Chains A and B, each alone.
Chain A
Amino acid sequence: MLRHLLLALAALAAIVALTFLVDPFTNIRIATVGYLLLAVAGLTVLTGLTGQISLGHGAFLFIGAYTVALLVVYVPSLPFWVDLLAAAAAAGLAGVLTGAAAARLHGPYLAGATLALAVGLPAITQRFPDFLGGSNGLGFTVNSKPAGIDIPSTQWQAWIVWLTVLAALVLLANLTRGRVGRRLRAVRDDEVAAGLAGIHVGRTKITAFLVSAVCGGLAGGLQAFLLGTAAPGSFTPALSLGLLAAMVLGGVGSLWGALWGAVALVALQAGTEELAHALELGTDVANNLPLAAYGVVLIAVVMAFPQGIHGLVRRMRPVKPEGAA
């Protein structure tokens, strides 16, 4: 508990220091790594620890982003942290509903259902174009920066994002190391054995969906805060698959893996943009380059080093007994 907290404080200090060294645009990228990290960490709890594959995690980000957008637009008097909590709560509710429906599903059935959610949910913005802004989405500005602090707004945003993300990660790390985490792993490894040991399998799966969706909702809320907009085009199935790619690349089942995955996701995006610029590729090629990179990464990682980046890092260290880490 204390160790996670100290680690998080150290990380926050490092991030704050880092934001002073880089330009405003890079600060946006740092913040992007933050909210993607949270989303991937949530997916890690669901898929890595509990064995429930989700191809629709973008749906929870969608819910979080639109909750923040709606609250900022329609209830501007609320402080921003209340908006974020509401985003987490709304996504959590959706997670419980999804989990309840999904508790009976396994393998390909669950994958199909979550994929349908990711494809279908953003279309709801077309249904209520006046309320949800149609395909243009909702645009807004959040003035969360206190008057006394004189730094660029992207730097302030990066701080807020990372503060939220690290707080959530501390909770997540404690949760997965404790009794809840053991239950999740027991269900992943053998549902029947877990049930015989007195674990309520359905309830455990719903818990996993709840935790995972709350992370996704917060991540979506932070994304909306960062970009100042919530639009259906940001929440395509490709986003959900990108998150999955990040999780697999980082190393399935570890929160450190989520960090490597999120960094890699942003680095791939930035790298392909710069490559396209340097080679003067056409826009059609440039726009599709990140997706192609995610796909190649997914295939290469599974074929060549299935433990992901975290597995490689771990292999370089002396082996510790299970549970001591």
Chain B
Amino acid sequence: MDLTTLLLSGLALGAIYAALGLSLVIIFRATQMVNFAQPALALVCAYLAFAVNRATGGYWLGFIVAIVAGGVLGALTERLLIRPLKDRGPLSPVIVTLGLLLVLQAVAGMIWTAEPQSFPYAFDFRGAFSPASLFAVVVVLVTAGAILLLFKFTTIGLRMRAAAFRPEVAALVGVRVGRMLTIGWTLAAAVGALAGLLAAPPFIHPTVMDTVFVYALTAAVIGGLDNAIGTVIGGFLLGIVLSLVSGYLGAELVTLAALAILVVVLSVRPDGLFGQRVARRV
């Protein structure tokens, strides 16, 4: 494959990593934790879209169902699993999300089997930079932009930032902190569902999101886990670099390359390329 093709396909892949990375960052900013259940939430949403596609034959109804389901699942996860653990240290919620990851992946395998099944693209996918790839890049950029605007310029965005930054003070001035966290998880899981819809084609199977999640987490970490813009840039950069690794060195080495990038970036800049350096509390 020539360089241009690799760069363009890397851009399309990068959009997926950016979207899933963005969903991780939204939750990290709200709750200071990585949601390890995110790939499984996205997987279940993509399978729901798959089921709707099968039933109706069209693409867009399934798309909408998946996004809405993502939001509902995100809100439920926060309310039922994360909120009861809010005073229990950093490890407990992480382990609960890992448990949820296993459960959802297993349930997806039970319902839809381990066999890969064909999953449609939104548009025509042929060519070096197909309409489907263009759609992926545009929809992710628009989503990221909308979320940035939401956080920066709307009242609800300001409330969400306040609730994440100083929960007690925010509560004192009348912000419903719990509700803000639920909104954050809803938003994040809906963006995650979008990532799942983009990542699933051409074939969906229960482990399809595993490597995507590793790349998304890598993107979020090198971009700075609290930095949405950095994560989107990190996602696209990573997509391009990994596409080059895949093209020139071999597809089997892509995950290890992501690991190498992660380790190198964090050795040089422990809070990511664009992350703010925070003094750790002693």
Given A123-B252, A302-B85, A303-B85, A108 contacting B102 (CB threshold 8 A): no
Q: Does B118 contact A (CB under 8 A)?
A: no
- List 12 interface pairs A-B (beta carbons < 8 Å), by A numbering: A53-B91, A111-B34, A115-B214, A115-B217, A126-B252, A127-B250, A245-B102, A292-B106, A298-B96, A298-B102, A302-B95, A303-B96
Min Cβ gap B264→A in Å is 9
Which residue of B has the minimal Cβ distance to A190? B282
How far does the Cβ of B165 sit from chain A's closest Cβ, in whole Å?
18
Task: Name the one of A53, A284, A289 contacting B113, with C-beta atoms under 8 angstroms.
Answer: A284
User: Contacts A287-B109, A291-B105, A298-B95 given: A121-B28 contact, CB under 8 Å?
Assistant: no
Most buried by B among A116, A237, A244: A116
What is the interface residue range for chain B against chain A? 35 or more
Q: Are A241 and B98 in contact (CB under 8 A)?
A: yes
- Name the residue of chain B whose CB is nearest to the CB of A116: B259
What's the minimum C-beta distance from A300 to chain B, rounded to whole angstroms? 8
Q: Is A76 an interface residue (CB 8 A)?
A: no
Among B81-115, those with CB < 8 Å from A are: 81, 84-85, 88, 90-92, 94-96, 98-107, 109-111, 113-114
CB < 8 Å: which of A112, A237, A295 contacts B106? Answer: A295
With a cutoff of 8 Å between Cβ atoms, the chain B residues found around residue A107 in the complex are: 90
Bound together, the chains give a CA A115 to CA B113 distance in angstroms of: 24
Asked if B102 and A241 make an inter-chain contact with CB atoms under 8 angstroms apart, the answer reads yes
Which residue of B99, B113, B206, B211 is within 8 Å of A295 (Cβ)? B99
Which residues on the B side are within 8 Å of A190 (C-beta)? Answer: 282
Which residues of chain B are within 8 angstroms of A298 by Cβ–Cβ distance?
95-96, 98-99, 102
Q: How would residues 247 to 280 of chain B score, 1 for a CB under 8 Å from any chain A CB and 0 otherwise?
A: 0001011111011001100110010000000000
**A104 contact set on B, CB distance < 8 A:** 266-267, 270
Partner of B256, one of A53, A124, A238, A285: A124
Q: In the complex, A298 Cα to B106 Cα: how many Å?
A: 14
Q: How far is the CB of A136 from chain B (nearest CB, A)?
A: 15
- Which residues of the partner chain A approach B84 to less than 8 Å between Cβ atoms? 303
Whether the pair B282, A292 counts as a contact (CB closer than 8 A) is no
- Give the residue of B90, B113, B210 whose beta carbon is less than 8 angstroms from that of A119: B210
Chain B residues closer than 8 Å to A245, beta-carbon distance: 98-99, 102
B170 within 8 A of A: no
**8 A Cβ contacts from A166-204 to B:** 190, 192-193
Q: How far is the CA of A299 from the CA of B247 in the complex (A)?
A: 41
B141 close to chain A: CB less than 8 A? no
Q: Is B33's beta carbon under 8 Å from chain A?
A: yes
Residue of B96, B106, B111 near A302 (CB, 8 A) is: B96
- CB of A7 within 8 A of chain B? no
Q: Given the known A-B contacts A241-B101, A295-B99, A295-B100, are A120 and B258 also in contact in the complex, defined by CB atoms under 8 Å?
A: yes
Note all chain B residues with C-beta closer than 8 A to A109: 221, 225, 266, 270
Verify if A264 is at the interface (C-beta below 8 Å from B).
no
Given A107-B90, A245-B99, A299-B81, A112 contacting B255 (CB threshold 8 A): no
- Asked if A77 lies at the interface with its beta carbon under 8 angstroms from chain B, I say no
Interface contact B34-A285, CB-CB below 8 Å:
no
A60 within 8 A of B: no
Once A112-B34, A248-B95 are accepted as A-B contacts, the answer to whether A105 and B270 lie under 8 Å apart by CB is yes
